[in-house]
Structure 1
Amino acid sequence: MYLLGIDIGTSSIKVAVVEVSTQKCIASVQYPEEETKIKSIQQGWAEQSPEDWWENTQQAILKLNATGLFNPKDIKAIGIAYQMHGLVVVDKEQNVLRDSIIWCDSRAVELGEQAFESIGEEKCLKSLLNSPGNFTASKLAWVKNMEPELYEQIDKIMLPGDFIGMKLTGSISTSIPALSEGVFWDFKKDEISKDVMEHYGLDSNLIPAIKPLFSEHGYLKVEIASKLSLMEGIPVAYKSGDQPNNALSLNVFKPGEVAATAGTSGVIYGVSDELTYDLQSRVNTFAHVTYSKEKKHTGVLLCINGTGSMYRWAKHNFAPELSYSTLNKMAAESPIGSNGLMVLPFGNGAERMLNNKFTGAQLLGIDLNKHGQSDIFRAVQEGIAFAFRYGLDIMRENGMKPSVIRAGRANLFLSDVFAQTFVDVTGVPVELYENDGSVGAALGAGIGSGVFKNAAEAFTKQEVIKYLEPKNTIAYDAIYPEWKKLLIKAL
């Protein structure tokens, strides 16, 4: 018996099949091989085509089936993880009306700031746990204001994972965690926020049916099942934003547990049993996958837009012909501190932890007689690690004090330089696991469909593959303050 996990990433679609009895990944692929581009018509804008996500999802599943490592007919449920905060809009025939305004798009920042002031900062923080910022609700308000004719055609709004669920099943649904990440949810009243909807003048009928996150959100359509060689009628039993899903994949369910990821964006995500918020909304709180009206488990999320995207930019511009593994080896040839070269990796839209400011990415201190490729690639990795430290200090101000951080051995954590630098700079040990987002989505489907009795049963065989402890803290304690001075100057 198998479970299928789909991860709708910014760069590509990843899919994985997990065997229920062993809880191990049998096969995984990504599609396309080349990283998907972000459309940026204007500075600060970021869009992608939902139909491209759907086409790439189908191709990824067919590619997965072609491995021959499992019988697709033995898949019993599907789970979906997805890039958070994106806006997808469809008409009554479920036709997409425009490209998705995705997570790193900054066009709605001003609208969000106006809402924060109009609704009341204290009221927003206590009820929404966030400023409306440039989250999904503000993106929808932008469409209403700037594309009113299109807005009138909208039947339902969705997050990216809801859209893929719709294409698989024909059903449209959402969940409390999904609504909270769009800043549509009032945590004090446990309902869709009347303040947000009324301030923006949004129609509540645009919100899909709300279902439990772990539940059957629809059943695979006959024609889709036939095309993808799957059994018709199997459920889509789990849909989660990528960061709560990453936490799930690392068995981070209990208050005080913390997960991290360093993909296109970088995230530290800690679980709390309090309705906590940052006064400046630099870190954000959403409903965790285990949130209920009885147990209000929340996820406190630090997001850095420019992590893997910064490393990708460096690769494409300084060594496009080399693999990431080769770049990681080159980075290890440069000493701690990258011979004085420093990087601010904030070039992928307004950064919430920087109070929604856009500094642009910066490569600083270049010595034309000294610095080479190895210094550049190490400086990029160190700059990203420093950004994590800056954000973690904000989380510490808000009471999140991790004793260990769990991460999947993927993306930047595949680099020994980055992984050790992350540990040295933050001062927090890291446990590395094999699971990734698509595997987590598959396990989530097992929970939602009842294949596993509960969340604990889905992770009985998870093992730490590597444990990293700080060992270069003194060296980085001397370098980090200099990097921070450069950041403050840039702000």
Structure 2
Amino acid sequence: MYLIGYDIGSSSVKAALVDAENGNTLVRTQYPDREMDIQAVRAGWAEQRPDQWWEGIVQATQRLLKAHPIPADSVKAIGISYQMHGLVLVDAAHQVLRPSIIWCDGRAVDIGAAAFERIGQQKALSHLLNSPGNFTASKLRWVQENEPELYQRVKYFMLPGDYIALKMTGEACSTISGLSEGIFWDFLEKKPADLVFQDYNIDPALMPPLQPTFGIQGALRPEAAAELGLSAGIPVAYRAGDQPNNALSLNVLDPGEVAATGGTSGVVYAVTNQAAYDPLSRVNGFAHVNYTLDQPNVGVLMCINGAGITYSWLRQNTGASETSYPALEQLASQIPIGADGVSILPFGNGAERILSNVDLGAQIQGLNFNRHSQGHLIRAGLEGIAFAFVYGMSILQEMGLDLKVMRVGNDNLFQSRIFAETVATLCNSHIEMLDTTGAVGAAKGAGFGAGIYSSLREALGNTPKVGGYEPLPNAEAHTEAYQRWLNQLHKLYNK
């Protein structure tokens, strides 16, 4: 008896095959091997074709089944994790109408800012926990204003995971957690956000029907099963955005627990049972995977768009495209803390929420052609991403959230000792690394949703700890480098 989980990112689709009886992960894979393309038709825009994601699902599934052949009918549930805040539009025949406007697209910033003022800042924050900002609702409003003929053909607006589930099952639906990430959920009224639908003149009928985050959301239809190499009828029993799902994967379910991840974007995600919000809306609150009307657990999310994509860009554009990330880490470790005066602001992947939705652009400061090398740039890049984390985490600390212990997966940026020790040292945080991934968490979430497990704790089991990072005893060099970085940020962003 097996479970399959998918984690649909903007870089790749990751998949995991889990033995439901003992909780062991049998295979992890991804497709493609290099980052998927993001189309930027204009500066600040970011789009992907949903068929890219489906192709990734198909290829990743075939890799799973090739690596560990199993009877097609032995898979008992499928779980989906997906990149948050994207907009997918389908017509009455469930055909995609345009490329998806994904999470890091900045075209709707002004739309969200204007709605924040019209609704009233305090009212928006108390009901939505956020400004409408650059989220899914504002992206939908952009389509309404700029592509009116296409908008008239829309049957449903969807998040990326909603679309993949539709492709699998033929059933159009979403979740409360998904609505909240699109700023379509009213936390005070505990229902879809009428104040957003009314302000944006969006017909609520465009919202797909709601299903629980955990539960049977549809069954794999024969056409999809044939493409995947699986049996028809397998239940899709869980879906969630990648950051709530990452927290689930790390057993971060209860108030006071904190998860972090460092993929294309970087996130710290703290769970609370309070309707917490930042008065400046620099961090965002969303319904956690175990949110219910009676137990309204909220995940407060601090996001940095320009995280792993910064490291990837440096690798591709400093002559290191064929160099492994461990080899780059070794190269950077030979450079002293502070990269000999080089600072990198990693804000080159669209408008940043922690900077009040300003698209600052990436910056390299202090570069000396006679003294600095590739290693300096790699070190400065890793430190710059870490400094952005520290800056964002200070906002969470201002809100009273405790970040002394964070759980992370054994992947992406947290495999870099330079990056992780910089964060741990400057925030005085203990970082626990667990042997799991978002795809594994999605598989186990589906096991609970399908009734194979009696509780989430049983589903997740005792995920093994495989390492961690502690604050370094001498923080002086880190503090000095961070202060130099912060001074550069303040010169460009005077808030």
TM-score scaled to structure 1, two decimals? 0.98
Offset at residue 467 of structure 1 (A): 2.6
Question: Is contact 2:404-2:428 (8 Å) kept?
Answer: no
Task: For 2:238, give the aligned amino acid.
Answer: Y
The aligned amino acid for 1:420 is: E
Aligned counterparts of 1:320 and 1:226: Cα–Cα separation in 2: 36
Does the 8 A contact of 1:85 with 1:181 survive in 2? yes
**1:83 — aligned with what?**
83
Q: Deviations for 1:41-67, whole angstroms, at most 9, x for unmatched residues?
A: 111100000111112211111121111
Which structure 2 residues correspond to residues 328-347 of structure 1 after superposition, within 5 A? 328-347=329-348
1:404 maps onto 2:405 in alignment: yes
Alpha-carbon distance in 2 for matches of 1:71, 1:314: 43
**SS of corresponding position for 2:253:** coil
Match of 2:477 among 475, 478, 486: 475
- CA shift, 1:68, in A, is 2.8
Amino acid at match of 1:168: M
RMSD in angstroms over aligned alpha carbons?
A: 1.0
**Residue 439 of structure 1 aligns to which amino acid in structure 2?**
V
Distance 2:350 2:435 in 1: 30
Q: What's 2:125 paired with?
A: 125
Shift of 1:22: 2.4
d(CA) in 1 for partners of 2:52 and 2:464?
A: 35
CA distance in 1, matches of 2:342, 2:421: 18
Equivalent residue number for residue 221 of structure 1? 221
What is the CA deviation profile of residues 441-469 of structure 1, one whole-angstrom value per residue up to 9, with x for unaligned ones?
A: 10110111111111110122212111321
Percent of aligned pairs with the same amino acid: 49
For the residue of structure 2 that corresponds to 1:209, the secondary structure is coil
Q: 1:362 matched to which residue of 2?
A: 363
d(CA) in 1 for partners of 2:326, 2:159: 33
Contact 2:441 2:460 in 1 (8 A): no
Tell me what 2:424 maps to. Answer: 423
Query: How far apart in 2 are the matches of 1:457 and 1:185?
Result: 29
Is the 2:27–2:68 contact (alpha carbons within 8 Å) kept by the matching residues of 1? no
Task: Determine whether 1:463 maps to 2:464.
Answer: yes
Match of 2:266 in 1: 266
Kept in 2, the 8 Å contact 1:177–1:291? The answer is yes
Match of 1:285 in 2: 285
Instruction: Tell me if structure 2 keeps the 8 A contact 1:26–1:70.
Output: no
Q: In structure 2, what is the equivalent of residue 485 of structure 1?
A: 487
Q: Which residue of structure 2 aligns with residue 198 of structure 1?
A: 198
In 2, distance between residues paired with 1:62 and 1:447?
24
After superposing the two structures, state which structure 1 stretch, 316-325 or 374-383, moved more. Answer: 316-325
Q: Is contact 2:175–2:210 with CA below 8 Å preserved after alignment?
A: yes
Specify the code of the residue in structure 1 equivalent to 2:76.
K
**Aligned length in residues:** 491
Segments of 5+ residues of structure 2 without an aligned counterpart are: none
Deviations 1:71-128, CA, capped at 9 Å, x for gaps: 4431110000000000000000000000000000110000001100001101000000
In the alignment, does 2:253 pair up with 1:242? Answer: no
Shift of 1:229: 2.4
Alpha-carbon deviation of 1:475?
2.3
- Looking at structure 1, the residues matched to 176 and 170 of structure 2 have their Cα atoms a distance apart, in angstroms, of 20
1: CA distance between counterparts of 2:228 and 2:84? 26
Assess if the C-alpha contact under 8 Å between 1:237 and 1:446 holds in 2.
Answer: yes
Q: Which amino acid aligns with 1:136?
A: T
Distance, in Å, in 1 between the alignment partners of 2:184 and 2:160 is 16
Whether contact under 8 Å (1:47, 1:105) holds in the other structure is yes
Does 2:294 correspond to 1:324?
no
CA drift of 1:136 comes to 0.2
Question: 1:377-436, CA deviations, whole angstroms, 9 ceiling, x for partnerless residues?
Answer: 111000000000000000111111222000001011111222222211222010001111
CA distance in 1, matches of 2:176, 2:475: 40
Residue 230 of structure 2 aligns to a residue whose secondary structure is coil
> Deviation at 1:69?
5.0
Q: Is the 8 A contact 2:255 2:272 kept in 1?
A: yes
Any idea what SS the aligned residue of 1:208 has?
coil
Q: Deviations over 1:282-339 (max 9, x none)?
A: 0000000010011110000000000011011101100122122211111111111111
- Residues in 2 aligned to 1:174 and 1:195: alpha-carbon distance in whole angstroms: 19
Q: Which residue of 2 aligns with 1:10?
A: 10
Q: Is the 8 A contact 1:65 1:72 kept in 2?
A: no
1:405 partner SS: strand
